[in-house]
Amino acid sequence: MSAAAAAAAAAAACSSRRCKSKNSSSSISSNTIRYQKPPLLLPPTLSRYEDQKRRDWDTFRQYLNNHRPPLSLSRCSGDHILEFLRYIDQFGKTKVHTNTCPFFGHLHPPAPCPCPFKQSWASLEALVSRLGIAFEEKGGDAENNPFDSNDVKLYLRKVRDNQAKARGT
């Protein structure tokens, strides 16, 4: 038998087996017990907001632990929140022109400048909001929420106004 004939015979036999298995009934008897794996119990997926709030809270707790002397949440005040916001500010990605910059007040400066990058006002406000909610969810007293202090509100207002002036809006 030639190689081509052998290959054709093998293909025919294979396809005939497939047809039989498709048309034949199941060979599992009614006495056979099927084992199904139990569904995996995965932790509930957090929304993007909840996930960000958890990361922000972890960052804030780490800041409190690294503070000298370490701070407990119950002793945290508006001043500590301001200190945290100033610390976070150094990791910002928004160019904020200083008063001495030639591009101060220009929305789209024509050239690069050495002005610092800071957190945008909107980012800081959203951060404070998420942390204030997390504080209360973790058992903090809503009446004494340091994220809702007048000092923090005033600081955010100053940041907003300064950034608006720096952009010329």
pLDDT (tens place) for every residue of the chain, 169 residues total: 555 555 555 555 555 444 444 444 444 555 666 667 666 666 677 799 999 999 999 999 999 999 998 888 888 999 999 999 999 999 999 889 999 999 998 888 889 999 999 999 999 999 999 999 999 999 989 999 999 999 999 999 999 999 999 888 7
Q: Give the model's pLDDT for residue 74.
A: 86
CA-to-CA separations, 164 to 15, 106, 150, in angstroms, rounded: 75, 10, 21
Q: Could you tell me if 88 and 119 are in contact, meaning their C-beta atoms sit under 8 angstroms apart? A: yes
Long-range interactions of 158-161: CB distance < 8 A, separation 24+ = 159/121, 159/124, 160/121, 160/125
| Alpha helix positions (H), 32-149 | 48-66, 78-89, 121-137
Tens of pLDDT, residue by residue over 93-129, are 988 999 999 999 888 888 999 999 999 999 999 999 9
**143: three-class secondary structure by DSSP:** helix
Q: What is the pLDDT of residue 21?
A: 47
Tell me which residue has tokens 């060979």: 27
pLDDT score recorded for residue 84 = 96
